[in-house]
Amino acid sequence: MSAQGQGDPGEDLTSRAESETSCNDMKRAAAKKLIECYFYQLTDGCGNRDCGNQYCASSGKLTNLTADEAAAQAISLFSKDARLCDGVHPTKVARTTMEPGPASLAKSLPNKNVNPTCSVEGKSVPYLTETKLLDIISKCKSEGSYCLLIRTLGEVFSSAQALSQSFLKSEKDDSPLTVLLDRAPASLLCPSGDLSKEAVRSLQGEDKEEDSSDPTPTVPQIDDTNVDLPAVRRTFAALWSLPGEAFESALVHALVTLADNIELNLRVFSGNSEDSTDSLLNVFLIVFEIPVLGSSEYLEMALHMLCKAASCLPISDQAKLACIWARHCKTRLPSLLQSLQQLITVKVIGGTFTRDYCVQDTDTITATTKVMKIVYFASILAGELDSPELALDEDNESNNTEKSNQRASTIAQDPLAVELAISSVDARKPLIPFIDFYNEPLSDIVEMDKDFAYYKSEQPKKFSFMNYAFILTPATKTLGLYYDNRIRMYSERRVSFLQAVVGQPTTPYLRLKVRRDHLIEDALIELEVVAMENPYDLKKQLVVEFQGEQGVDEGGVSKEFFQLVVQEIFNPDFAMFTTQEDTQTTWFNPTSFESDAQFTLIGVVLGLAIYNNVILDVRFPMVVYRKLLGRKGSFPDLEDWSPTLYRTLLEMLEYTGDDMQDMFMQTFRVGYKDVFGSYLFHELKENGDEIYVTQENKKEFVDLYADFLLNKSVERQFKAFRRGFQMVTDESPLALLFRPEEIEQLVCGSKIFDFAELEASTEYEGGYTSESDTVRNFWQVAHSLTPEYQRRLLQFTTGSDRVPVGGLSRLKMVIARHGPDSDRLPIAHTCFNVLLLPDYSTIDKLQDRLLKAINYSKGFGIL
């Protein structure tokens, strides 16, 4: 029996629910089987010429019935519990075994041998169907021996050929009877196992309503499956209602053999045979439906072997598998993901990794990650997807486009995403939340410097988690971006050195010399010159100098520079941006008088902040980050952009009354205010002021209104802003690693402000320890401060009041002893997050000196 948690009432309830589900599924299968018996009795008869049953074709009392009439009458006979002749067989074999033409019923019946077989290329191959396995289970129960079940599972589940021929949809799947039977939901079964009256009416076609909310139409129709997945699930539910020791050991060993053979076949033959890989899809669809893959025995022996085999599938087949999972396995995907996460976590925690043998070299972990990618894209496909029409048009300027395309080609694209023609930014709401794909133990152990080297390597191609970024936490991915940025900076520095050697000296840094009282003017002028003369200089390390101040920029001066720039340039009084009233977020001013160059330079500033690992106090709505990654804003983005407007438009969409025109009095003409408060109007379509919003055109109005607010009204400003942002980040793996919400964290930092994390990660030097009286007094004062003063303390010590991605534990602050008790104020080296703290004699004196240092800490002097 698989190892299961004990003593957990939640697990008991889950087990009870699964048992009830299994029981209902078995009852439904039995009911369908009985109805099929009536159907074949009506159409083919029992074979007895002297039959006296008026509902049997052999009696001669029935006129010729059409298939539809026979199906309806079979349901009616079942509900009446009418007489059923002996010798009527309810099921036919799979479509692959049917003979063409009007085959006789005798030929279509399953073989009664222990292990029925089908003929494939002249050889006898064992296969299974739901009915056959249920019959075997029933026989084993009656005999009190499970040898037959063990032998059958071993034969079928150890052979890819046998398993690929199992649980196929039968030929009658498209018949009127099957269509009627499949229409009845399992919830309509009576406790007795009979169909309720509601179920009968449903089967007879009175309840034909389908779920129109199902988002599956968005799934690309790459391929479908001929595996009867509901039958597979019912069969497994019946199988696991038995004692585990009766068959599980044999099944595990069969799966190991199966996976080993598949992996060998795929590696040797490289999936050259289309037929073979298509049949393997059937195999993987079946085995990944096993409900206990996450339990100990399967986890240790079978699951990692299955993942290694599945990871060898060609990209086209992985795409097919993702589409089938998205279309038919929505309820199964979360538990499958949980099993994969569990396997990776177990291997990470139990593994011994060194610089020579790192986590990227472990086949079990890398193969499972590859399978998780298939689940990841299946989750995206099964969720809510944006329309392809929302892709932003690229710049029409030929030079910029050519350079952009040339640089973009250096960034590797995910082959599975290319095959499916989607990306994570297309996902409006995935089936499984993105954060469920993070694996924190793995993220903590991955050495990103080595992973980045693997990412950049060409031959031989090494496995890199940067190509599977969905599994890494944002904090770990930030390290990957950091290494990319630093290497690019060092590369520019090396080029400058070589140019100096040949007599063409250039500065190895991007130097900005600015005056505090003319900060924006000086910064934008210098950046404009750089952007025009040599945009590649933007990729050099930024060094800022405040005129008249003697601070040396090792990172701290740059942090203050960015903060001051953001405070001024995003101030509504500057008129380039506005503040949304109900969200206090920053948005582009659609009536701004500033030139495109100004917005381009703002984009450069934002890109430089990311490139130089500086966090900004910027409050953009999420739609800005989606647009930076190449997607237009649409109606769902209004929920974050303006919740009040979103609710109003949603109320309009949900309104069903006939008096819509009188209720809303809205035309296709909308109004907005300019920077001076004047009211301006815009017609969403020609003669919009004469066109009222009605039930027929309300969706068009909402889409056009959202498009105007989020795209067209600020098209000029945002286009320039994005162009500046791409000048700095175009060669960066930013889009490969991060989704829009993660880029927001990268720009603005984490929203979790926890000083306990900072205390736990702080180190001590100069004679201080965590037990020193002054250190204890410092943390007592720090924790007692208001959130506002805590942010000021953070800014005084580190140069920024923002929390880095991953929390304050990522700061690694250092508190060093700065001499004995004195009247001196604490001093901070913001470039290195070092706080020099005298050994104050009392807590009151420490608090007084610390607050003074915080309140008067502006500018840089000689330290």
Q: Which residues are catalytic?
A: 831
448 CB contacts (<8 Å, ≥6 apart)? 476, 479, 480, 483
Backbone angles phi and psi of 118, in degrees to 5:
-125, 160
Element (H, E) at 827: strand 827-829
Neighbouring C-alpha atoms within 13 Å toward the C-beta of 318? 23
Cα–Cα nearest to 149, from 244, 227, 19: 244
815-844 core/surface letters (b: 16 or more CB in 10 A; e: else): bbbbeeeeeebbbbbbbebbbbbbbbeeee
Burial of residue 192, with CB atoms counted within 10 A of its CB: 0-12 exposed, 13-18 middle, 19 or more buried:
exposed
Neighbouring C-alpha atoms within 13 Å toward the C-beta of 51? 24
Q: How far apart are CA 602 and CA 720, in angstroms?
A: 9
Q: How far apart are CA 108 and CA 217, in angstroms?
A: 35
Q: How far apart are CA 589 and CA 718, in angstroms?
A: 10
Element (H, E) at 377: helix 363-382
Which structure tokens are listed for 668? 């296709």
Backbone angles phi and psi of 153, in degrees to 5:
-60, -40
DSSP state letter for 168 = B
Cα–Cα nearest to 309, from 266, 279, 345, 340: 266
Q: Is residue 441 within 8 Å of 345, Cβ to Cβ?
A: yes
- For 170, the 3-state DSSP assignment is strand
Burial of residue 739, with CB atoms counted within 10 A of its CB: 0-12 exposed, 13-18 middle, 19 or more buried:
buried
Distances (CA, A) of 503 to 132, 492, 533, 537: 84, 17, 20, 19
Q: Is residue 482 within 8 Å of 385, Cβ to Cβ?
A: no
Element (H, E) at 673: strand 669-673
The neighbour count for residue 410, using CB atoms within 10 Å, is 9
The number of helix segments (H) and strand segments (E) in the chain equals 36, 14
Element (H, E) at 610: helix 596-611
